[in-house]
Each structure stands twice: as C-alpha cells, then as structure tokens.
Chain A
Amino acid sequence: MPERDRISTWQFFWVIVSIIITLSTFRLPHLILGAAKQDYWLAILIAIVMDISVGACLFLLGRRHPGRTLFEYAQELLGGLFGRLAGVAYVLLFLQMAVLLARSLSESLFLVMPETPGSVFVITIVFLAGLAVNKGLEVIGRLAELIGVILFFLASGVPLLASSRADFGNLLPVLQTSPAVIVKAGLLMTSFFGICVVMGVLMAYQTQPEMAFKVKAAAVVMSGFLMLASYGVALAIFGGQAFSAIIHVSFGVARLISIRGFVERVEAMVMALWVAGGFLAIAVLYYCAALGVAQILKRNSYQPVIPPLGVAMVALSLWQFKNRVTVDRFVLQVYLWYALAIEAGLTGILLVVSLLKASGKQTA
C-alpha cells in the first residue's frame, strides 16, 4: 500500500468543504447558475441531494472494502483490465478538474494582474501542490484543516459585507425557468459537486471510516448552502439579468463592498480565496490522481508519479485552452457530462457489481 498516513474525520470534513467553496468562488459554476437566474437555488439543491447520494454509494463501497481505495476495489470488482480502465477514468477526472482549477486560478489572477504571465501562477501553484503531495496525505489533511477554516470565513464574509447593497426582491420571481433548464443545471452542478468522489480515495485512510458518510453529507450541506447564500446575495445585488451577464460573481460582489465609504476594494479577500482554495483543491486532486496511477500500476510508492503528473497539469492548463471562451465550451459540452458519467454512473456501477457479487457469494 503506497500510503501509510491517516486523515482525521475533521480534516476530511474540511477537504470536502474547501473543494466546494473553492469551486464556487471561481467563475465556472456561474456558467450554469447564470442561466437558471432566479431558480439557481434549485440547481444547487439538486446537486446537494445528488452528491449526497453519490456519497452514500461511495460509503457503502468503502465499508465493503475497508482500507481500500476506489482504484483498488475497482480492480477487485471489475477484474484487472476493466478495473484499471475504471481507475484511469477517475484519474483523468481528477487531473482534468485540477487543470481546470489551475486554469481558473491563473485566469482569475490575470484579471487583476494583467501584466504577470499566467504561467507564473500555474507553475508556482502546481509546484507547491506537488511538494504537499510528495509529503503525503497527512500534510494535505493538516493543510485542509488550516486553510478550510480561513476559506469558510472569507467565503461567508464577502456576501455578508456586501449584503447591505442587496435588494432581496430580486430573488423573485421564482419557478419561471423551464423545468428542463433547471434539471440540466442541476445535473451539471452535480458534476461540479461530484468532484467530491475524492471521498472514495480518502475514506480508505480515514481514522474513523464509519463516520465518512455523515461527515461528507454535513460538509456538502454546509458548503452547498454557503454557495446558495452567496449566489443569492449576488443575485439580489445584480438582479436577474445582470446576474447572468456577469462573469466573476464573487469578484463582482466584492468590488461593490463599501463600508461607510471607508473599507472598500476588498477584492483581495476573494483573491486570497482563489489562491488558498485553489492550492488546496489542486493538491487534493493531484494527490488522488498520483495515488491512483500508482495503484493502477501496482507500485509501492506514488512519489515517482508526481513530477510527470505535475508537468502534464502545467502543460494542459497552459495549452489545452486558447482562451476563456474555449474553456467555457469544453466545460459545458464535454467535461461536465464526462464528470457526471464517471462520478454518478461509474460509481453506481461499482456499487451494483459489489452488491451482486455479495449476493452471489451468499447464494453459492
């Protein structure tokens, strides 16, 4: 087993919270929520429920294969070849999300610091994340504990400070979007939240795996509702039309904060969120991907995989996309559906196979 470190329940909680908070402060979720306008909250609710169900699947799987990760039990359940292919699918999912996060980070910082080359941000953050991954799960867990709390306060601080400008009448009218649009938005949001399938990896090394589901559900509910609230404030501030036109929601909201004309321009809070959260989320995904590769190849150590993966991530974040518009198209048309198929579909298949095998054993 390439990992001897353990992650505590509390640290696991903050890993999940940090990932969702980080995602919600980048602009990507707005691609979906913007279209849903006043019904954005329904999409988030759908995603919360769906993601908790995925969490339940992973929990059952994890309990049936204690001490084993997603990659290991996939091979047990589906056999060598298909199990490895399934593992590869998860690794690609984690990598692509990490690449999208690195890309979002450099894109967002580029907005504020247009003269700094984007590659500087990407290389620095991936390099640092690689160092953390190299040190193992314990480092990441402790980082999450530290950074997660800061993220939570920053992410709730921005909408709170901005709420004086909010006209909550803008949240009306509700239920004017067509059900098809809402369901689609809900599914796409699910694939964002669904990146929490990292649970399938981390649970194997949790000190109290029996708590995994409760903690995961609590983390998703907490961060999901924080996202709901902060997008609510944004919608109340901008009104439905302008809300769907804006690109960087959290940044746009932070720009409007003015406390008695004295405290202004607190965009730095959001930038801190981007950097700290982006770093942590990338580290977690990087770790899962590296561990996955090692376990698929049945290596004793995942450390050798770290540099090549890092190079791949940097290269992809710099060159996979030409500009923001191509990122958007890829996310909406390819990535989210791929993610949904893996997170919900593949995980579901694993659970079904696991249940069938168990019942087969009992009858035999």
Chain B
Amino acid sequence: MTMQVRPRRSLAHLGAVVVLSGFLITLAGCWNALELDERALVVGVGLDHSRLPGQVDLSLQILKPAAAVSGGRGRGGGGGSEEKAVWVVTASGRTPFEAVRNASRLTGRKLFWGHIEAIIVHETLAREGITRLLDPFIRDHESRQLAWLLIAKGIRAKEILTAGAEMERIPAEAIRDQLKSYGATSTIMPMDIHRFMTDLAAPGKSPVAPGIELASAGEKAEPKGGSEGESKLVKVTGTAVFRGDRLVGWLDEKESRGLLWVLNQVKSGSLVVRCPADERERVGLEIMRAKSKLGLQIQRGRPVVTVEVTEVGNIADQTGRTNLTNVAYFRSLERRKAAVIRDEVQAALAKAQKRLRSDIFGFGLAMSRKFPTEWRNMELNWHDQFFPDLQVRVEVHATLRDTGTTAGPALIR
C-alpha cells in the first residue's frame, strides 16, 4: 500500500492534526484529577482504643506540604518558633474505615494514602487481633503495602505520632529511618504490612512486629531553644510476638537479636564479651557478616531443627590494656562471642517456645516445605504441641578476623 500525498489528503491530515490536538488538551488529565494542594497526604497512622465502647481511635499524621518545604531544615533565624511540618488528627469509628471517613470530615481535604510510612497499633488493641485493623489498608488500592507496622508499647499510638523528631521534619520519616538503620545493632525486626500479612498467612510461622515507645529520660533530646522540655523522642525497640493475629508478648533486645540470628537478618551490631586476659575488663566486637541456615530432620517421628549461625567480626574496642593480637586470645575471643550468640538465640527460643508458644522462627513453615506429608499431621497442633517441645540444636561458628587499623589498645607511656 503506497501512500500518495495529494492536496485533498493533506487537508484531511490538517483536520486530523487539529482534532488530535483537541484530544491532547482535553484527555491529558484524569477524570478525577486532584492537585497536590487539594489533598492531604497521610504519612503516619495510629490506632488506639477509643473511650467509646467498641470503637477505635484512628490518628493520622498528615503532612503540611507548605510547612515541610518553607520551614526548611536549618535553624529558623531569630528564635521564631518553628512550625511543625505535620498535623495529627484523631477520629473514632466502629471500624477503622469509618474512623478514616470521620477523620476526613475534620481535614476537609481528600486524604491520600500513597505516602504512608508507618502504621502504629497500640499494644492492648493488638492483643485483641490486628487483621481487622489492617484490613482497610490492605484492601485500598492507594495505601502503601510497604508501610512499616509498629506496636506502641505502653503508650498510645497517638502520642507516638505527636512526638517530635530531630533529623527529619516529618516524624513518620524518622521512624522509617530508625527501622532502615536497624542493622547498626540488629536488635529490631523491621516489618512492613505486606510481609506481616504474608507471615500471618503462612502455615507454621507467626508474625512479629517491632515495638515503639518514647525514649527514656537519658535519651531525650535537648529541648529546642527557649521552649519547654516538650521535645520527646520516639524509639523503636523490642519485638512484639503474635500468635495468629493477636499479640501475645514481647521479646527484649537480646531476644530480638536471637530471633534475627535465626531468621538470617543480622546485618551488623556489637557483641560484648569479657576480656580473656582479664575477666574484669570487656572487649567490644563488631559483627561484620552473619549468616544462618536451618537444617531439618525427622528423628523417631519427631522433628529436629538445627540452626547454624556463621559470624565473622572484628575487635571494635576494649576496656583493658592487654594487646589481644595473638592466636590464643583470638581463639578465646571467638569461643566467647560464640557463647554470647548462642545465648541470644537460646533466649529467643526459650521465650518463644516455652512462654509464648508461637513459632516466630518459621520452623513449621520450613517443615511444611521439606516434609509436607508429615507436616499435615502436625499442622493443627504445631504451636501448642510440637513447637514448644521442638528440639533445636544451635551451632555457632564465630570467626574473629581483624583488630581494625591498630594492633592493640592505644599506648600509654
């Protein structure tokens, strides 16, 4: 088919161009386009018990775009009080969705859920089951499935949302940053909504979520110039353990890292052991690399799990004066830190198996993959019967590699 350009054709082409240009102008926008300044961006969500029976309180941390930009991160000159970049609204409802819509009435603007950083649920509310609270955030197409889930420990979620932050103008982003840098100590388990729901649905695995509380007195930020000591800091700490979708208890930081060793989530962190040269002194060891592997067997009809942790690290600091750079001390330090790691893992195992009876390690999930037939008989009673009595062998291979850039402690003449 050859195209012949004739005058009449080119006129038709001109017509087409005009019509198409018309489309360009009329069709480029969405049907229900809303400009950014007509929306309210939700960055954090908090869920608490309401004073009204059978209702939940929903608090929304809403970004104020103008304040977030114009205030800037630097010091506002001349002691003028810095405007907060967010606003917290609270409304209640019989279901979270009703609360959301009630909150919308207060904001006046259409809420936008695409930027949620964190969803914080109060501890006692989580004890009554959490899926009913998260349901609207999972169903809605706008809300981010990658938002972090946190459990407010001993404090209302609303208070967490109203607390300030120093490094970020948006407090919810400060929470996100704390979660993202969890690897510095590897004592919290960051958990997004999607992963939480996946763990919840998986057979033989219980979900966990990090806790959040207000930092204790010693960690409090210096109040900003002139104002009252209002500046409170939030701190992500500990691990909430669920059974089904109900919170049943907490792991402290040591137990949390024990969990992370097993889940192969330890990135870095510090291990403190007693100095082999002088038991009164301590040596700080940095975790450089860590890895873990699960082994499963069935012995005499009962499942046996082997957790193999491999860790490589350096000496980070020491309180004593002895130069530890020799093979014997290195070996001793390796043994000591292996013991510390094993102790952390055992602590987490003991708490989960005996006290909370909840398989947060996913041993059951691993069973279901490796021994699907045997699993069928165990599935129903896994958390109650098999998991608490499960024999778990912990093998730790800890290697000490180097001492940093100096051979020993700083020299004093």
Contacts and interface: CB of A to CB of B under 8 A. Distances in A.
Interface of A: 111-116, 120, 138, 169, 172-173, 176, 237-242, 245, 251, 255-256, 258, 261, 264-265, 267
Nearest to B366: A169
A240 B180 CA distance: 28
Interface residues of B, number: 22
Contact of B202 (A111, A120, A241, A261): A241
A120 to B, nearest CB: 7
Interface in B258-303: none
B198 A242 contact: yes
Contacts of B145: 255-256
Contacts of A245: 201
B194 A239 contact: no
A113 B31 contact: yes
Given A172-B369, A256-B194, A239 B32 contact: no
Chain A interface main SS type: helix
B369 A242 contact: no
A172 B198 CA distance: 15
A241 B364 CA distance: 14
A258 B368 CA distance: 29
Interface string B192-224: 001001100111000000000000000000000
Given A173-B372, A258-B146, A265-B114, A239 B201 contact: yes
Nearest to B205: A239
Interface string B360-384: 0000001011101001000000000
B402 to A, nearest CB: 29
Contacts of A138: 1
Interface in B1-53: 1, 30-32
Best-buried of A111, A138, A172 by chain B (most CB within 10 Å): A172
- State the 5 A-B residue pairs at the shortest beta-carbon distance, nearest first: A173-B372, A241-B201, A172-B369, A115-B32, A116-B31
Nearest to A112: B141
B146 to A, nearest CB: 6
Best-buried of A138, A239, A265 by chain B (most CB within 10 Å): A239
Contacts of A261: 180
Contacts of B201: 238-239, 241-242, 245
A136 B366 CA distance: 56
Contacts of B141: 111-112, 114, 251, 267
Contacts of A256: 145-146, 194
Contacts of A120: 31
A261 B194 CA distance: 15
Contacts of A265: 114, 144
Interface in B55-96: none
A115 B31 contact: yes
A111 B375 CA distance: 38
B372 A176 contact: yes
B43 to A, nearest CB: 14
Given A255-B145, A256-B145, A242 B197 contact: yes
6 contacts: A138-B1, A173-B369, A241-B203, A242-B197, A256-B146, A264-B146
Interface in B332-389: 366, 368-370, 372, 375
A258 B194 CA distance: 13
A237 B114 CA distance: 21
A239 B30 contact: no
Given A116-B32, A239-B198, A256-B145, 6 more contacts: A112-B141, A113-B30, A173-B368, A242-B201, A251-B141, A256-B146
B148 to A, nearest CB: 12
A275 to B, nearest CB: 13
B159 to A, nearest CB: 27
